[in-house]
Amino acid sequence: MKLVILDRDGVINKDSVNFIKNPNEWIALPGSLEAIALLNQSGFRVAIATNQSGIARGLLDMATLNAINDKMHRALAQMGGRIDAMFYCPHTADDNCECRKPKTGMILDIGRRFSVELSEVYAVGDTLRDLRAFADAGCKPILVRSGKGEETLAAGSLPPNMLIFADLNEAAQHIIAEDI
C-alpha cells in the first residue's frame, strides 16, 4: 500500500497563530486539495497527523474540530480527493503525551493502522516538530515552504536527507514521480 502522511495547518490550509477555531477559519491553501486528489488518483492513501492543542486550551471542542474537518472532507470530495484517516493530538506540550509531535506516537499509530513500513512513507510538514516526528518515526520527511515552512528553513537544524518543496502540490508531483 502506498501512503502519504500530511500535517494539516500550514500544509493543507492556512495556519493561524490564533489557532483554527471554527470552520470559517479553515481556508485551503491554493493547490493543496488538488494535490491530495492527485495523490489519491495515483494510488496513494492519505493520512493526516496534526497537533490540535486548541482542544486542551479550551479554544474549540471536539464537535467544532469535527465540523472543521468535515469542511475539509467536503472540499476535497468536490476535487475528487479524500483523506483516509485523521489522527490528532488534543494535548498541550505541558501534557508531555506521546502523541504530540515532535514525539512519534501519532506517526507510529498511523504506520500500525495502515500496516506499512514507515521507511517507505513520505511525510509532509511545515514545522521542525513535524519533520522531527516524521524522521524519528522512520518516514521520508518533506518540508513545504507554505505555512511556517520559510521560518523553519531559516532556523535550520533540519533532519538529514529531507526534501524541500514550495507547497503540497510540488511535493505531491515529486512523490508521484518517485513512485513511477
Point out the residues that are catalytic.
7, 9
Give dist(CA 22, CA 68) in Å, integer: 6
Instruction: Copy the grid coordinates of residue 36.
Output: 491530495
Give dist(CA 100, CA 137) in Å, integer: 13
Give dist(CA 150, CA 126) in Å, integer: 8
Reduce the DSSP state of residue 117 to 3 states and report it.
coil
Locate the DSSP E strands across 20-119.
Answer: 44-51, 85-89
